Amino acid sequence: MQKKLYRTVEALLEKIDHSAGDEKALSDVLHALVEGPDMAGFGVVSGRLYRERPRDYLLIESLGEHGQAIAGKTVGRDYQVVRDIERRRVWVVSPETPGWDADVELQFSDTDSAAILVGRDPAYILSLGIRHHGSADDLLVLLGTIRAAVDLKLREEALASQMRQAKAIQQSLLPRRLPEVPGFDLAAVSLPADEVGGDVYDMQWVEAGVLGIMLADASGHGLPAALQARDVVTGLRMGQAENRKITATVSQLNNVIHRSGLSSRFISLFYGELEESGNFAYVNGGHCPPLLITPGGEVFELKTCGPVLGPLPDAVYRRGYLTLRPGEVLVLFTDGVTERTPAGDRYGPEEFGREGIVQAVTAAMDRDAEGIAAEIIERVRRFGDGLPFGDDVSLVVVKRLTALDHPPAEDLTQFSVEIRR
C-alpha cells in the first residue's frame, strides 16, 4: 500500500510545473491530491493550504467542503495543534488530538484532518480531509509518504532553480558579441555537459588595439565548477582594468583560488593578449596547449608556461610569444574536445585528440572562424557517435585574414614546438 501511494504521488508530482515557485507548486499538489482520480482510494476528500506568517498561518486555498469561501481565515501559531504540526511535521488532527478546539477546527473542516508541514521561509501546512478507516499508525504512514514525496520534489526544484540561476550568471559573463579586431576573424563556443559547466571563455579589450583572450576549464563540471569559472572571469577582468602584466594577473588569480580552501579544485587557464599587428603574448597555466596551424600545414603547440591554478600558492608563470601571420589559425580548446571517445568498448582507448582538431581545421581552412569552429564541433559529435558530451566542450578560434591594411609585423620568437600532423 505504501509503495503504491508513493508511486501514485510521485506520478502526480511529475506532472506539476514547479517553475512558478513553491506556492504555485504546492497549490497544484493540493489539487492533485484532492482531485486526482488515483487518490480516491486513499480517502482524501478535501484539502487546504496554509502559508506561514509571523503570528499565524493564513489559509490561501481550500478545496471541497467549505471551498474557497473560507480562504483568508487564519489559525494562530500559539494553537497547540499548530505547535505540534510544526514540531512533528506530520500530524493527525481529530477530536482526540491533544489541544483540539472545535471552535477552531470546525470552521475549516467537518472531517478528521491530516496535516503536513513542508517548505521553509515560508513554511506551508498542507491539510487533507480524510475519511480513514484504518489505524492512526496507518494514517501517519500515509501522511509521511506524501510528505516525503512532496519535500523531495521541492528540494529537487530548489536545486534546479539554483542551477538555472548559476546558468544565468555564467551566461551573463560570456561576451554577448565578440569584439571586432581589424585583420582578424574570431569565433567561440562553449557546450556544457551539465546544465552549467566549468568551461568559460572571455574576450575583452585591454587597451586600444590589444584584445585579451581567455579560455579556462575548472576541474569537474556542474555548479561548483561553474562558480569557480565565474571567479576566474571576474578576477581576470579586474586585472585587465588595472593594466597589470599578464603574468602578475594570473599569479594573483592563482593565489585567490588557492586561498578559497577548495584543495580538491583547480583551474587550467590560457590567457593571451592579441595586438592588431598579430603579435600575441600569452600565459598557459596548465591548460591544453592551443594549436597554431599554418596554411601550409605546419602545426605548432603553445606550450605550458606554469601549473594549473589553485594547488600551489607560489606558482610561477612566464610569458610566451608568437606572431600570427596572414592565413594562420589559432585554436584554443578544453580537454572535453580532445578526450572525446567513441561509444562502447569496441574502439579501445581511442580519443579525438589534437590530431582530430588539426584535420578539422585543415579541411575548413578556407572558411571563416565560425565555420572552422563548427567543423571541429561536428567532428567531435560524430566521433562520439552523436552521444551527449561527457565533459564540457569549448573552443576559441582566431584566424588572421589574408587581406590586411598593413604588412605583417616582425616575427617574434615562438615558444612552441612542432607536432606531427
Domain segments of the chain as ranges: 2-165, 175-418
Average confidence score pLDDT of the chain: 82
pLDDT at 263: 46
**Which among 306, 239, 232, 289 has a CA at the least distance from the CA of 265?**
232
| pLDDT exceeds 60 at position 411 | no
Percent of the chain with pLDDT over 90: 44
The counts of H helices and E strands in the chain are: 10, 17
pLDDT grade for 194, boundaries at 50, 70 and 90? confident
pLDDT grade for 413, boundaries at 50, 70 and 90? very low
C-alpha cell at 401: 585574414
Rounded mean pLDDT, 140-148: 71
pLDDT grade for 356, boundaries at 50, 70 and 90? very high
State the helix-helix crossing angle for 2-14 and 136-173, rounded to 10 degrees: 30
pLDDT at 259: 77
HSE-up (13 A, CA, CB side) for residue 208: 0
| CA dist., res. 174 & res. 197, Å (int) | 13
**Which among 122, 61, 110 has a CA at the least distance from the CA of 86?**
122
Rounded mean pLDDT, 112-141: 78
| pLDDT exceeds 80 at position 364 | yes
Spatial strand order of the sheet with 56-63 comes to: 74-76, 56-63, 44-52, 124-130, 113-118, 90-93
- Is pTM beyond 0.75? Reply is no
User: Strand, helix or coil at 329?
Assistant: strand
pLDDT at 383: 93
User: Residue 63: enclosing H or E segment and its boundaries?
Assistant: strand 56-63
The dotted CATH code for 2-165 is 3.30.450.40
| pLDDT exceeds 80 at position 41 | no
- Report the chain's terminal Cα–Cα distance, integer Å: 65
Dihedral sign of CA atoms 398, 310, 172, 161 in order: positive
pLDDT grade for 371, boundaries at 50, 70 and 90? very high
Any idea which fold 175-418 has?
Phosphatase 2c; domain 1 (3.60.40)
Rounded mean pLDDT, 299-308: 90
pLDDT at 415: 39
Alpha-carbon Rg for the chain, nearest whole angstrom, is 30
| pLDDT exceeds 90 at position 414 | no
| CA dist., res. 257 & res. 265, Å (int) | 9
